[in-house]
Amino acid sequence: MARPSKGSAQGLPQRAAIWLTAIVTTSVISSAAYAESQRFVMVTHGIPSDPFWSVVKNGAEAAAETVGATLEYRAPSSFDMARMQQLVQAAVASNPDGLIISFTDEDALGGALQSAVDNGIPVITINSGGDAARQYGASLHIGQSEYEAGRQAAERMQEMGVEKGLCINHEQGNQGLDQRCDGFIDGFDGNAEQLATTYDPVEIRNAVVAYLNQNDDIEGILTLGALAADPMIRAMRDQGAMDMFTLGTFDLSPGILEALEAGELDFAIDQQQYLQGYLPVMLLDQFARNGLMPAGDVATGPGFVTQENAAQVIELSSQGIR
């Protein structure tokens, strides 16, 4: 019988096809085994009613699905640093392949972060605490400079003619929010004040109305997130005072975007929270696979959303991305 030629359907091409099939099969099995072995835990201070954190969670879950990893998202039911400390400690004890936390309070969370690092768990911090997290061994921080963002909010209001501002802090003791107010007040050279509230919308509304009735020299108001911005907007509408103040906020929500598009809010500071969920999962995956990690922090903000570009962001917000 004649020996098959190199170009025939038998011989080498056939063996090559079998060989390639074996490689692909092995690759799929290897990838599946890898995916099953990776488990990342994300612990944030974001309460369930805050739309900001649902977007962070969406980003993290999308990244986990992309790389085939398991993601466990944990958060307290209220802004409670003792409870968050417990959640982080429990996460460390479960020995995940990577830990992601919003480093909201150095005193409450520093020890748990250090414990994770000492046990060989890579840690990425997001959203809050980037200035302090490195000293406890965090690999990097993903977020924005809260102090600088507050300063930029003050500068923007001053450009709009505001001489005295008010910063409404709905989570006093949260390092990130405190830094936002500090930057805002410093940006006004001290000619701004802070109003501390809880995140209860009725209390925020009543506190804002009472404060403004007693301080008629306030011209610009800054809230630090949707939990405070939405009741503040409703209070301004109810009082017929939308045109009496320059209004700005941190972060985005459907209500904030609607107010921006309508011209009721002057600006919102966007820190692209979807990336704060998405990027740490992707980076921890790369670290587990290849030992790769960026050498510096990743800035996701600040950026400004105004009436001019609100419509572009609304579509993405409906998809849970902004």
In this prediction, residue 32 carries a pLDDT of 43
Q: Tell me, yes or no, whether 314 lies in a domain.
A: no
Q: Are 262 and 283 within one domain?
A: no
Q: Clarify whether residues 286 and 205 are in a common domain.
A: no
Same domain (yes/no): 250, 281: no
196-249 pLDDT tens trace: 999 899 999 999 999 999 999 999 999 999 889 999 998 899 889 989 999 999
Looking at the structure, do residues 249 and 139 belong to the same domain, yes or no?
no
Judge if 100 and 76 occupy the same domain. yes
Residue 167 phi, psi (nearest 5): -110, 120
Residue 26 lies in a domain: no
Whether 76 contacts 291, CB under 8 Å: no
Q: For residue 142, what are the β-bridge partners?
A: 126, 298
Query: What CATH number is associated with residue 123?
Result: 3.40.50.2300
Residue 71 domain-assigned (yes or no) = yes
Please check whether residues 136 and 45 belong to one and the same domain: yes
Could you please report the per-residue DSSP string of 49-103?
T-HHHHHHHHHHHHHHHHHT-EEEEE--SSS-HHHHHHHHHHHHHT--SEEEE--
Specify if 29 maps to a domain: no
Same-domain pairing of 202 and 262: yes
Averaged confidence pLDDT in the chain:
88
Do 185 and 221 fall within a single domain?
yes
- Whether residue 20 is contained in a domain is answered as no
Tell whether 12 is covered by a domain.
no
What pTM was estimated for this model as a whole? 0.80
Residues 79 and 114 in one domain: yes
Domain span including residue 283:
34-144+272-301
pLDDT confidence of residue 318? 81
Q: Do 252 and 181 share a structural domain?
A: yes
> Residues in the chain with pLDDT < 50?
1-35
> For residue 143, which of 209, 56, 21 has the smallest C-alpha distance?
56
pLDDT computed for residue 174 by the predictor: 87
**Residues 96, 204 share a domain:** no
Distance CA(270)–CA(144), nearest Å, equals: 10
Point out which residues pair with 166 in neighbouring strands: 193, 221
Q: How many domains does the chain have?
A: 2
Same domain, 282 and 134: yes
